[in-house]
Amino acid sequence: MTDGVTKTKEYIRPMPTNWWLKRKSYFMFMVRELTCLFVCGYAIFLLMLASRLGDLDAFTALLKDPIVIALQVIALPMVVYHTVTWLNLTPKVLVIWRGENRVNPLLIAAAHYLAWFAVSAVILWIVSMYR
């Protein structure tokens, strides 16, 4: 001990790797966190699709590839789960006061859900113009 620092042996509680299987709430937390893999996967798909913008045949082939469609069918519910958990947290992040009264958290979440539906409808409408 020449540096004058006392080294203590701190106890680190062992954490089994399968801790998240022990309770439903832990499991749902892990599902939520793992939705990021599908977010990443779809971003990679968009990158692939973008790289085929110069070649209509390759662009079409990717969109019609059964494996790519199957992966998107799996990704869709996972991404929707991300959306739902994300929007359900909005009232916790966004606390709005009107004078003395706190705006109802349900109202804030509902406004975000409404915005999600509106944005989705607008995108669908834009795409429908290219039919």
Q: How far is the CB of 14 from other proteins (least distance, A)?
A: 11
Quick one: 83 or 104, whose CB is closer to other proteins?
83
**Tokens describing residue 20:** 């998240």
Contacting positions for other proteins (CB under 8 A): 15, 17, 20, 30, 33-34, 36-37, 39-40, 42-47, 49-51, 53-54, 56, 59-60, 63-64, 69, 72-73, 75-76, 79-80, 82-83, 86-87, 115-116, 119-120, 123-124, 126-128, 130-131
Q: How far is the CB of 4 from other proteins (least distance, A)?
A: 22
CB atoms within 10 A of CB 35: 19
Q: Are 79 and 42 in contact (CB under 8 A)?
A: yes
Quick one: 40 or 107, whose CB is closer to other proteins?
40
Quick one: 6 or 17, whose CB is closer to other proteins?
17
Quick one: 5 or 127, whose CB is closer to other proteins?
127
Burial of 95 (0-12, 13-18, 19+ CB in 10 A): exposed
Q: Which residues of 64-93 are buried (b: 16+ CB within 10 A; e: fewer)?
A: eeeeeeeeeeebeebbebbeeeebeebbee
